[in-house]
Amino acid sequence: MNRYLRLLAIVLLAAVTVGVLSRFPRSAVRPGQPEPPAPLAELAIEVGDSTVTPFASTVPKDHRVRLTIHNAAARAHAVRLAGYEREVSIDTLGAGATWSGEFLAALPGDDFAWLVDGEPAGRLSVTGSHLVEGHR
């Protein structure tokens, strides 16, 4: 009888362990393997006196965005992308100057404003779902 109690305890412990381990998320990338780079999207905008051309632009979510900003105005401007200020924040872009940089478009939405000297001058949309792949 004592053997059966030990066997029952081992089976119950194994069932609980498997149940707990099955709830942990599994990574699509195996440890030791580098994560594949995000796809690249190119975007170029031109800044005028109080405008951005094109006024509305779109990039896909979870893409690296290679951004080029050209100041076509006759004076310097401060340019920022609302919602992505940590990635795109230029205090002074001189007249005729061009700035290039990259950022990851990780936040979906259509309300990211291009701010020229603190005023909205255009809009960037990041298309894609806010849900994590495989999430139910």
Q: What is the pLDDT of residue 23?
A: 79
Question: In angstroms, rounded to a whole number, what is the distance separating the alpha carbons of residues 113 and 123?
Answer: 5
Q: pLDDT (tens digit, 9 = 90+) per residue, 12-52?
A: 888 888 777 777 776 555 667 777 888 999 999 999 988 99
Main-chain dihedrals φ then ψ at residue 10, nearest 5 degrees: -65, -45
Q: Give all domains of the chain, ordered by start, each with its CATH number.
A: 40-127 (2.60.40.420)
Confidence at residue 34, expressed as pLDDT on a 0 to 100 scale: 77
Model pTM score: 0.70
Residues 90, 79: Cα–Cα separation, whole Å: 5
